[in-house]
Structure 1
Amino acid sequence: MKLKSLTTVLAATLCLATAGVGLAQDSAPPVAKVTAASPPPKLIVAISVDQFSADLFAEYRSHYTGGLARLASGVVFPAGYQSHGATETCPGHSTILTGNHPAHTGIIANNYFDLSVARSDKRVYCAEDETVPDTSSGGGKYAASVNHLMVPTLGDLMKARDPKAQVVSVAGKDRAAIMMGGRKADELMWLFPGGLTSYRGTTLSPVAQQASSAIAAAIGQARPAMDLPADCASHDIAIPIDKGGTVGTGRFQRDGGDFRRFMASPESDGAVLAAGAALRAARKLGEGGTTDLLILGLSATDYVGHSTGTEGAEMCIQMHALDQQLGDFFARLDATGIDYAVVLTADHGGHDLPERNRQNAWPAAERVDAALDPEAMGKAVAEKLGLPQPLLYGDGPFGDMYLSKALTPAQRKAALAELVARYRAHRQVEAVVTGEELANHPISKRSPDVWTLMDKLRASYNAQRSGDFVVVLKPRVTPIPESGLGYVATHGSVWDYDRRVPILFWRKGLTAFEQPNAVMTVDILPTLAALIDLPVDAAKIDGRCLDLLSGPESSCRP
């Protein structure tokens, strides 16, 4: 199966305009250079590629020929940072268009624990309304919501200034669409087995319904194996994993109706881009009297990374497909003649599975000891100290840990001391930091590449939601005790392979340059706000404006 067919099938189904795509270069009108006096672009396109680490960008940069090649020829910050410690999907997306660290967005992790909630399931998903009766954070039985986001997004600020500004957010995951789209988006949706969906009680617009039907039809069709690009041959090595099977040689073939495999393939990114293009055309984004915002959350890279790792044939195919699909998407935008600006970044980085790392010059890579699981650790401590159970709550063997609220002050003190000592004594644990220690540590204002461990953790700490203590694993300890088909690698650590992401800006007429110094995803909102003359209170954000003009002029207007 050719890569190119994936980028066009949904667009053709949705009857997207293609007039002018592929025009010869000499037939295009002259391009005016972007200067400080240039008017704001008519459309902002904000793209997040889930788990698109700076390492992946660097590894494949010389192979890009499509949309990523275009962006790599613009204003490039190859050393961008999701500067905080909890490098997960929801916290990362919450920083991109708010200008704030998770400490201020309130999105400290994909899941946190609120032991005061009425339901028996005390785990709270970052993008749910846990007060809705008969819902749970597990198994997808939750009510999607933006309630936990504590700060406005770029779209919210644009709508507050001018209600006529249009904001559309489409993503593979609900948390991506919600955390970047904010509260005031005109349309906000994400992929699910039936195509596209949104909040409960929300009716999709006619074009969104049409896109949903086209995507559902694509999910329902079986897909043959994809072709392996020639330069992916060196990645095509089978890696044995626990519980049988291998990864590293996949081609994304799947049965009809297999939504999980659809999401973990280039098809899902193609679906989001096609839906976004259809909604742009229907709503005429970028064609009115104000600047509009189109937000696209592309999740396939993350699903591929989790299910097969970052260095196999699967990721190589995904990088080629992403490049081509973005190229097709930009070509359709070019054909409209709209003056648009693009920013592309990621919610976090990622790390390859340890089994392949051990074959490729990193023999110390390993999987986490199951004894670090909070349930097991809590049970052992409760039995030793004679404390009520369950004693400890956590979403995995690292990150925020929460003590039971049933403890007396004396029991709490004893339990905390014993748990912290046990975690610190484990050979796979780098550090254990208490919530009290983090509360007393200021949020760093320094460059993110020199942040201390405490700086990283503090940027993820919110007193209302964070745990009683945080466990940090040592570098290259994968927090999955056993690998199995579908889940072999992950992210979420404080280490730079999870923190570093590219930040790329492009606009026709914008002089290209590259700045290798460290910048942060929280810098994106003030940068875009300056581009469209949108005032932002610097005291209410953690980021700063990045000057996108090469030379003495500045795009960071006062």
Structure 2
Amino acid sequence: MLKRVAAALLLATAMAPVTPVVAQSPAPAPTATPAPATPPKLIVAISVDQFSADLFSEYRQYYTGGLKRLTSEGAVFPRGYQSHAATETCPGHSTILTGSRPSRTGIIANNWFDLGTKREDKNVYCAEDESQPGTDSDHYEASPLHLKVPTLGGRMKIANPATRVVSVSGKDRAAIMMGGPTADQAWWLSPKGYVSYKGVSVPPLVAKVNDVFAQRLAQPNAGFELPAQCVSKDFAVQAGNRSVGTGRFARQAGDYNGFRISPEQDALTLAFAAAAIDSMSLGKQAQTDIISIGLSATDYVGHTYGTEGTESCIQVDRLDRELGAFFDKLDKDGIDYVVVLTADHGGHDLPERHQLNAMPMEQRVDKALTPKALNATIADKVGMTGKKVIWGDGPAGDLYFDKGLTTAQRAKVEAATLTYLRAHPQVQTVFTKAEIAATPSPSGPPESWSLIQEARASFYPTRSGDLLLLLKPRVMSIPESAVMGAVATHGSPWDTDRRVPILFWRKGMQHFEQPLGVETVDILPTLAALIKLPVPKDEIDGRCLDLIAGDGDSCAQ
């Protein structure tokens, strides 16, 4: 049951907008207390969806809340990498608490095609059980079925069954991929409030949180004040029928999408997480517990408005504040906790704003590269007009040859497709499945990997396509349209999408910053070392990062 302080936090963080922060002289630093040598009692793993390294660094000087704490007191790796090529939400979240790249987790994309499935919809969503009758990739039963490796929480439960594993998020795929199949609680936001797997009963805590959500949603939001650092961003940009760049997140009562695509969503998720920690007494028993928190609003904002307008600027400011309130709550409860904060991928701003801001070469992808158009073109070239020869989920990524093709037809389709795509001015390269499979798994600094090494890190033989299409940098993979839905996206193999911050914090630790590249798969072995949990090196792709500045090694077992 929610305690009074948890309820107060829910109401305080998920409710009203606030005025801009007024710059103040920094308070004197408190006398440092060395971090304890014993394992922390609670691991708090936070993923900020689409929080690129660029976005992190752009606003770093303005942080005053939770992000300020992490960057000024913790271990800062500003050049973290989601090192694989398919920089999407599901693959990225699958790396954070498994220590493994998509080539091992099996989560190669948000969606892939299974042309052997008996259902009519061949498109498989990463967090569904497609074997359930009457479902499709848009109307599905959420499931961790496709994750092929254990999470940190799963390994902790094997070592000590008393461990509690909780996962909450704005998206099902974030909660599922970070919590894993053995999580005690996994919840994600829906129009009805926070929901879980089919058949899971709603406990009193979640019912109360959902009541708060319903009350908040029923109220309008006049919008958020514009912080001083966002004023220069305040100009309109036109993309198709959409004008973006000047928003304040005002919404009408009952507007779920307006709530979801705003700082309100992350505030509620953090309040839910704080209430779960409180009500379950996480971190207050003999064993170490873990909670993973997926903050999804930054991604929704980035897709809907881009990454460089007032909308994104307000979102980062609010995120910083809400994280500060969340950490303060844990401090008041006296919990010995360690935090890791990172992102599932980065993001790229809409080309129309880039064109206004000194990047006239930015462009949207040619509609000829969309799956429907590409299929029609190739079918014509091989004398199979009107037939389905190629399957794909977008104008970049995995392409699949139809299983009904004969060996001769398939060879003709592959040759024609490679010739056509490799001649297209927006295409960087196309790899065949055989080329990727023949490439050794990459190692060494992730910033120096070749494109085919990045592709290999995303490759899972039974799910990856027959071809992998990679667009050139500065080509947005959303085509121009008179009526625009999303205006910007991610998913490319370029650093705008691969680079993310990785931040660790524990009370009393000595701050340091390491600017060289590390990977998100390094998070699991780093946290496992802190709690003295052995993890066989041949079962993961990551390495332990020493979080002790100077002498000493947190990775020493």
Relative to structure 1, the CA distance from residue 329 to residue 9 in structure 2 (aligned partners, 3 Å threshold; closer, same or farther) is: closer
> AA paired with 1:487?
A
Partner secondary structure for residue 240 of structure 1: strand
* 1:277/1:329 contact within 8 Å kept: yes
* CA RMSD in angstroms, aligned pairs only: 1.8
1:270-281 aligned within 5 A: 270-281=267-278
> AA paired with 2:125?
Y
**What is the match of residue 470 of structure 2?**
472
**What is the match of residue 417 of structure 2?**
419
* 2:48/2:296 contact within 8 Å kept: yes
Moved more, 362-371 or 200-209: 200-209
* 1:195/1:214 contact within 8 Å kept: no
**What is the match of residue 404 of structure 2?**
406
* 1:193/1:216 contact within 8 Å kept: no
**What is the match of residue 363 of structure 1?**
360
Shift of 1:318: 0.4
Partner secondary structure for residue 314 of structure 2: helix
> AA paired with 2:159?
R
**What is the match of residue 299 of structure 2?**
302
* 1:33/1:510 contact within 8 Å kept: yes
**What is the match of residue 537 of structure 1?**
536
> AA paired with 1:188?
A
**What is the match of residue 71 of structure 1?**
70
Aligned counterpart in structure 1 of residue 249 of structure 2, from 246, 249, 252: 252
**What is the match of residue 182 of structure 1?**
180
**What is the match of residue 331 of structure 2?**
334
* 1:154/1:525 contact within 8 Å kept: yes
**What is the match of residue 218 of structure 1?**
216
Shift of 1:551: 1.1
Partner secondary structure for residue 279 of structure 1: helix
Deviation readout 1:126-161 (Å, 9 max, x if unpaired): 0000000110102xx111100000000000001111
* 1:194/1:213 contact within 8 Å kept: no
Q: Distance between the aligned counterparts of 2:376 and 2:121, measured in 1?
A: 18
Partner secondary structure for residue 98 of structure 1: coil
Partner secondary structure for residue 212 of structure 1: helix
* 1:129/1:147 contact within 8 Å kept: yes
**What is the match of residue 104 of structure 1?**
104
> AA paired with 2:542?
G
Aligned counterpart in structure 2 of residue 200 of structure 1, from 190, 198, 203: 198
> Which 5+ residue runs of structure 2 have no aligned equivalent?
1-6, 15-26
Shift of 1:241: 1.5
Shift of 1:245: 3.5
> Which 5+ residue runs of structure 1 have no aligned equivalent?
1-6, 15-24
> AA paired with 2:103?
A
**What is the match of residue 19 of structure 1?**
none
1:60 partnered with 2:55: no
Q: Distance between the aligned counterparts of 1:225 and 1:290, measured in 2?
A: 43
Shift of 1:9: 6.5
Shift of 1:377: 1.1
Q: Distance between the aligned counterparts of 2:461 and 2:403, measured in 1?
A: 16
* 1:308/1:486 contact within 8 Å kept: no
> AA paired with 1:33?
P
> AA paired with 1:154?
L
Q: Distance between the aligned counterparts of 2:203 and 2:166, measured in 1?
A: 12
Deviation readout 1:69-121 (Å, 9 max, x if unpaired): 00111100000000000000000000000000001100000000000111111
Partner secondary structure for residue 47 of structure 2: strand
**What is the match of residue 34 of structure 1?**
35
Shift of 1:31: 5.4
Shift of 1:482: 2.2
Shift of 1:221: 1.9
TM-score, with structure 1 as normaliser: 0.94
Moved more, 469-478 or 386-395: 386-395
> AA paired with 2:530?
L
Shift of 1:446: 1.3
**What is the match of residue 20 of structure 2?**
none
Moved more, 381-390 or 287-296: 381-390
1:107-506 aligned within 5 A: 107-138=107-138, 141-242=139-240, 244-387=241-384, 389-482=387-480, 484=483, 486-506=485-505
Shift of 1:34: 2.2
**What is the match of residue 516 of structure 1?**
515
Relative to structure 1, the CA distance from residue 398 to residue 65 in structure 2 (aligned partners, 3 Å threshold; closer, same or farther) is: same
Q: Distance between the aligned counterparts of 1:13 and 1:317, measured in 2?
A: 15
**What is the match of residue 44 of structure 2?**
45
> AA paired with 1:128?
E
Deviation readout 1:373-419 (Å, 9 max, x if unpaired): 12211122213323372111111000000010001111111101101
TM-score, with structure 2 as normaliser: 0.94
Runs of 4+ displaced beyond 3 Å: 11-14, 25-28, 483-486
1:86 partnered with 2:86: yes
Partner secondary structure for residue 212 of structure 2: helix
